[in-house]
Structure 1
Amino acid sequence: MTQEYIFRFLSVRPGSQRKKTERAPKTVPVYERNKPTQLATALKRLNDSGGSVAEVLRVVRAFQASDQHVKSLDELPFDVAAGLQWLAENDNRKSTDVDFAKALQELYDMPAKKIIAAPDFLVTKERVSDSLVAEAFHSSWERPTDSLTMARKFIALVEWAAKDKGLDPGLPMGSAFAELKVSIPDFARVPNPPKQEPPPVEDKPDPEAARRDKLRAHLQDLEAVHSELSNKAIDDDALLKPDRGSDESRKIADLETKLSSFEALREDDLRRLEDVRLGNEAKVHALPSASTLAGIGSARVMIKPEAIARLSGTAHRVLNDARIDLAKIEPTRAVELIEEQMRLTSNQLASSEKADTVLLFGGVMMEMSKVKGSMFGPAGAAAPILKDHCHFQAGIGDLLMVKQTLKAYEMAEFAHVENVLAGEARVREHRRLNIREEIFVSEEERETEKERNLQSTERNEMQSEAEKTVKSQFELDAGLQVSGSYGPTISFSASLNVGFSTSSEETQRKAVSYSREVTEKTSERVRERVKKEERRRMLEQVEELNRHSITNEPASNGHVRGIYRWLNKVYDAQILNYGQRMMFEFVVPEPAAYLLYALVENPPKDNELVKPVAPAYYGAPLKPSHLTRSNYLDFVAKYQVRNVLAPPPEFQHVATFDKQDKVQDGSTFGRGTKVDVPAGYQAYGATVMSDYTFTEGKSHTFHVMVGGASFDCTTYWGSAYKSLGNRYKELGIAYHLHNAWSFAIAVEVHCRLTSEGFAKWQQAAFDSIMEAYLVQKAQYEEAMAALAIQQGVKILGRNPLENRRIEREELKKLVLMMLMRNNNIARNSILPGYEPNIDLQKACLNGSWIRFFENAFEWNNLMYVLYPYFWGRKARWISALHFTDPDPEFAAFLKAGAGRIQVPVRPGFEKAIAYFCQFGVIWEGNDPPLRDDDLYVPIVDEIAENLGKLDEGVPYPEDAQPWDVRIPTSLVLVQNLEEIPGIKDMLTGNDVVITS
């Protein structure tokens, strides 16, 4: 019977070491034992001493630059090319049909034993062997170096012929020659980098994040300094006030008073002389003299040097960076400069604030900022250094099929026993009747009647007449006859006769009569009758009658028994091997990491939504008290708040002034006013600036009172400062002058922002932020509702086939990275510039790599298993748990913390892949030499030996026998009583005979 396919699977195992030993005659070692060449000796010494890659390549390139390196087979002293030509001409003949020793005799005029002893042969063997090893490290030939491999194989054939050995007799010479494998010794390999502990990896922070952190830290420092200086500005113990009673001030004031008096006397003398000239002697003697005060200069309120020294280190650093010298400017001005610095820094920080974007992963919406932070970390994070090469698994994959062949049926347990007593007759009748009748009647009738009658009349008549007569002499005779007809009812005729004479008469008469009469009568009668009648009657009657009768008459026949037994199928099942592949296995971390990164950095427009998130302050809902001078602009930028008020300054100054022009002979003045303290501020100090002139020699006073603080401005002019305590709303000012000719006064009240005033601004800013957030939220919800209406039924996710393609491409990329031992596998073959042009040199080189890796593996047969999320970074666990997709397999791919990948090598590329894994470069030819190792060589040998032998399937393992598989069926069989197994009586234990 034919075999039936049940299932198939792939078994991956290492290459057989036993078969490697058995096939040793097919291996051609490049170097013979105990006969090293100069290049082999140098390479072995470097391998034993742990030489670096650079040292090995230096030795190899030095050999390739020497005259010992083979650049063409034609330059060899022994004519290897002639022997290869003979093999090509006889490649289809079996070795048993050809006398290879005789052929060598004819080619070289000497037997094989003499050939291998000839100096030219030995030199050729050494040069070919060294050149082949050198090319394995560094390719210097412009064309593939397969000819070197073939030359080394032919040299081995000549040596075998001298020992009466040859190729495999069961194969054609060409196939047997191709199966020979050139083996490079283990010491001729690229050394591994020295094993050393890598330096500790320091994460390089994201430059943008570092900039933001620096700005935030600077803002915190500015806030601290702002608070510290604001407190110093109202602390009387820390302030340096002008002292009007100091000796130096008095000396300066006396000198200035004398100088002013002298100038005043000069003016008085001039006035007296003028009065004398005019004869006003009495006035001269009665005129008093005016005098002015000495000034004390500027009276700025400064911070004491010892108070400046007691400032915090942060304050000194910030003030130095801002170039603010407290020894030269007032503290309130310093606070204003600090506030300006805070505004500039806040603007820089707010410019980097963006609206929270929500990314749609399948059915889950996730905040992109959180996904970035948990999955990707800082953009400039350093990659750890590998301690050693990455070793991945390689083996043989056997395609195994389980097939079965039906061998027999076997009787199983009793299914039923039918007993009929002697003389018994039984009839069993079963009748089933199913009647179904369906009647369908449909009748429809419709009747419509419509009538319309409309009559309309419209008439309009207009008469207009005008005459004009002009007489002149004109001689012209012209005639025109025009007639026309428009329709059946209107016609006209026109005639023009003009005579040229001294007189002309023109008469124009217009008569326009317009009449319209429309009579429309429509009578429409539509009578429509539709009658539809449908009748259907269906009658279905099914009757089933089963009759079963058993008759055992006459009674002399005895009892009758019927034994029914189940039937089972018996199959021969066997595992068959239908082919082998060289398999590579990799375990890659977080296979979807780059895909997620690409989705977050450049999300599809349909999947990216800007969803306003409620304002928060370190995870808690935003409150007005959370807003400060340094952070409110972050919320303004994030929620696009308009017309928000800037925070009020910490200090404000309000002023009032008064003056009196000169009054002859002096007078007494008393005045009062008030100053309104700004809302939200409290007055803590006042500065009085005053000056006046008075009558010399008479008592004079100038007293000022501001909010309960008194100022005596009698003796000096200038400014003076005093603290006021805390006063709100308004401040009273009063001043009195006695015997003063003129005066000028200005009062400046210094105010500081109260906590209530700042809280009022916080509340206003908070209201503006929340209003902007609610507007954005309403717009978002409205857009989502409109989008839902437009889209109708929205299909989430992608086609599963597209998801499988994405998964395979990502896994393929990771496999290539591990094979090449390089994270950057991109191949740039385009020249830099605006117009994309091909870099021909790079395109040729990159094309070889791309062609090799795309063809060397059967990527369409890539197999993978995804492992849970906890095998990945712990930082991404929370995000990975919430990844969902309508395609559950794609969701598992997004969540996976690791993946195990198996990819087969395309038949015929086994040696090329093994060569790449051993030397890290691509062999451009067809027959690369391999280093004799225990990983790749057994795999290549076993696959080469079984090539073409497993097409029809062979038992696996070898010499395995099929096993029986029993399958129960629903079939029963009536068995003869003679074939029934023995039956025992349970009570007596005796055998019961049922055949009689």
Structure 2
Amino acid sequence: TAGDTAGDTAGDTPEDTPEDSPVEDDISSNKKGRFHSLGVGELLVVKQKLIAYEEGEIAHIENVMKGEKRSRNHRTLHRTEEFTSFELEKEEETKRDLETTTRFELQKEIDSEVQESTKKEAGLTVTGKYGPTVEFTANAGIATEKSSSKSKNLSTSYSKEVVDRSVHRIQEKIKEKRTLLTIDEVEVINEHSFGNLESVAEHTNGIYRWVNKKYEAQLFDYGTREIFEVVIPEPAAFLRYLATNHPKEGTSIPKPQKPGYMRLYPILGTNEFEEVFIPLSPGLLTKETYLKWVEKYNIQDVLPPPSSFIVTSIAFAIDPVDTGVEDEGDGSLTPNWRTVNMKNTELVVPPGYVAKIGTLSLAIFPLHRFILRGLFGEIAIGTNKHAFHQGGGIGGSETFVLSNETGLVPVAFSLTTKQFFSGTLEVQCRRTEEHMEAWQISTFNAIMNRYEVLKEEYEESISGEELFGSVDIQGKNPLENKSIILNELKRQVITQMTRQTFDEFDAMREGVLPEGFPQQDVDEAWSEGQYVRFVEQAFEWENMQYLFYPYFWGKKKDWPVNSRLEDTDPLFKSFLQAGSCRINIPVRPGFEIPINIFLSTGEFPWDSGEGGIAVENEDGEEERDIFLSIAEELKAQQGAVYFKSDGTVFHANEDLESVLTGDLIEEVNDDGDVVLNDDGEPVLINGTNFLEDDINREINIGGKIYMIIAVNEEQQKITLDENISIQESVQYGIGAKAIGVPWVVTVPTSLVMLHDGNKLPEIPEAP
């Protein structure tokens, strides 16, 4: 067959195209569904028209004895009270010990020795002679000796020991007690009574009878069509879903969806799966899922989930202190080594996290140009110690593993260096399971609290409508129900035949800047419009035929619910309960080739840039079919399907109102000139073209449908199935041809009426 194929879904929808580039299809192509082609045959359509309501069988008999009075009172009370208590106990303890020991020793020894020796020697010898001879002798002498010795010895010893211990403990107890007893009192009292207390009263009764509908059904032939067939599951599944989630009639407040998910679980002993509703629980909330419920319930002040990892850090620096240089003996200079001890107790691991990895990064700069010697030392963070060495004077990073420290973590390190430096200490912290669970519980409570509020608002609105409502009319107008059925079947047929799930139809954007108004995407709207127009026009949806199958062809777990669904409209009830549905869809004449290409290959038969379908005419030249006119499409949707309407009709005579004749008009040739006979008089022809084949066809005159029961081709006279009164020539339209004879269909309803009189109805004898 032409159908009976399957295809794969294409990729993601392309992005919007620039105005100067060719228009691309935003609707994925190459989607092929599953269907069956019945080939080309007569399109036979069963039409029904309502002809009467009739009393059916007895539904109930209410007996009231003489002198008896019976009454029924119905009272409804909804009462709720809510009490909430919240208790917070917080205990915080901070303990800090600081111990410093300083030792300073100075040894100084000075030896000084001065030796000084002075030797002085002086003498005077005088010898004198007086007389003619004088003799005088003098002698003097001095000697001095001095020696000095001095030595100095200086040594300094300095030691400092610092022990800093800090303990910070926070103990917080939160106790919340909530008692829910909502006081929202609504009292509804209904009273229904029967009284038979009059003095002349007799035993009496009321007889209630079911109401049946009577339809006249007729089979009509619409000519040859190509027909496709599909069988779809549970045609009312979406409406049943709406029935439990949409606002109830009479209220604008939607019924909130119960938080939870549908999951597929294997059925033991089979290869099948069943859907099971899983209520929402804290463990199901993740970064990806919680926003769905926040958006659905419009929840305020919900925190995002805590990050899996965060980083906390500190920075430090040592100011440069020149301690001088040493002469290496070869003319080079080297800075003196110095020891640095640092501590920092300000590294805080955020609550709900534990320290996992530390990274120490140092930036080194020499005190003296071209003198690069690096540093080495040890860092202590919490209970962990890590030795490090940075050489070459360019700095670097050291990474080490920590031991799940929490809260305020003490940090200290010692190092020896000949240069000054600065650095950072970064600690990567991982989220604890308890922290994530606390967020899940908090978010879950916010979701459930909001759900309960919305549920209560919905129930209050329903109660208010029921309280102040008047006549309780069940169900919808059957004509409205029929339209709903056709739309639902149409949607599922399109999905079955094309795998189109309509997820890509989003040309109307929401929240468009600057005002945030809805605004269409022009290129995508064009692409989607081609798809919509083709699918809507390629099939005669107005002539779609369907048959509902019982509930047991649907999911077994839904049998208890689906088999008991009720509605006052019998057709709609069958639709709601159906477990499956067989559907025949005729192809509109002229669309046979493109629709087969579309369904069999998934390729679009239309031009995405110009619109329309490229077809070949009788000469083999390509022409562009512009689809149906909007007038023809409107007529088809409204059931105005007629094959010919040449000329006008009027009464043949005053006595036979059901007999009409066609009018006579002048014959015109191809040039538009009136054709004359041999006598030079215009040739008159009938504007109508009634044929014997038109017998039993529908004819629309003045908006009312009649049936042609006789045709006189020579006189162009037709006889209708009932009288008609028209004052002048009117237009008409001939439609489908009735096949066989009509039959009456009696359809039971759930409506009940009070029988006129208190006697049992007479049952006619069976023929």
Compute the TM-score of the two structures, normalised by the length of structure 1. 0.27
Larger proportion of helix: 1
Larger proportion of strand: 2
Could you say which structure has the larger radius of gyration? 1
